[in-house]
Amino acid sequence: MINISINMPDQPLLIGKVGKSYGILGWTSISSFTEEPQKIFDYLPWFFFKEGQWTKIQIQNWKKHKNNFIVHIKGISDRSIIRNFTNADIMISKRTLPILKKNNYYWNDIINYKVFDINKNYLGIVIDLIRTKNNDILVVENKFNISKKNILIPFIENKIIKNVNTNNKFILVQWN
């Protein structure tokens, strides 16, 4: 019998992805989407989400493996069972994140923020963030431009990103 309970997280937040099974004893590889990859293990419990199904899991053990991690889930000791979770999203309840100080925010908090240039022209809304080696990039959905292409704005605080207003949910940028 597998010791897995079925529930759904409160305010689900994506933090990683399940890869393929590893070995024959029920281990699986995972990819972390957290800023510091190992911090994924600070945010427990995990919920696997695949094909509309939620499964709450408990990590029994984990190890660093190449550029990712391998994990062993409590109650699973067979490769054929863990294989069912390949490509599942790893989700947590948003409330498990540490509470931030005033005017600080998590990346997922600024999705759907409105973006204005310093002349108060509306540019669009934040639909994604891209991590790059040098700096992160805001992806802004451009609803007014004829080309309909997204606007990519480097997230360089004080130089390009002038203000992130968490109370009114907008971002002010130095952008033409």
**Are 22 and 92 in a shared domain?**
yes
The residue out of 76, 96, 116 marking a domain boundary is 96
**Are 20 and 90 in a shared domain?**
yes
The closest alpha carbon to 171, from 118, 129, 132, 101, belongs to 118
Rg, C-alpha atoms of the chain: 19
Looking at the DSSP bridge assignments, the partners of residue 49 are 54, 89
Q: What is the pLDDT of residue 156?
A: 93
**Are 68 and 124 in a shared domain?**
no
Residue 24: pLDDT over 70? yes
Other CB atoms within 10 Å distance of the CB of residue 25: 12
Q: What is the pLDDT of residue 89?
A: 96
pLDDT in tens, 28-81: 999 998 888 999 999 999 999 999 999 999 999 999 998 899 999 999 999 999
Cβ-based neighbours of 87, under 8 Å, separated by 6 or more: 17, 18, 19, 50
Distance CA 164, CA 115 (A): 9
| CB 115 within 8 Å of CB 123 | yes
What backbone phi and psi angles, to 5 degrees, belong to 68? -130, -150
155 in a structural domain: yes
The residue out of 96, 118, 142 marking a domain boundary is 96
**Are 23 and 51 in a shared domain?**
yes
Q: What is the pLDDT of residue 8?
A: 84
**Are 83 and 21 in a shared domain?**
yes
**Are 112 and 91 in a shared domain?**
no
Kindly report the pTM of this predicted structure: 0.74
Domain range for 154: 107-173
CATH of the domain at 151: 2.30.30.240
42 in a structural domain: yes
- Total count of domains within the chain: 2
119 in a structural domain: yes
The residue out of 96, 127, 151 marking a domain boundary is 96
Residue 1: pLDDT over 80? no
Residue 126: pLDDT over 60? yes
DSSP 21-87: EETTTTEEEEEE-SSSGGGGGGS-SEEEEETTEEEEE-EEEEEEETTEEEEEETT---HHHHGGGTT
Residue 5: pLDDT over 50? no
4 in a structural domain: no
**Are 20 and 83 in a shared domain?**
yes
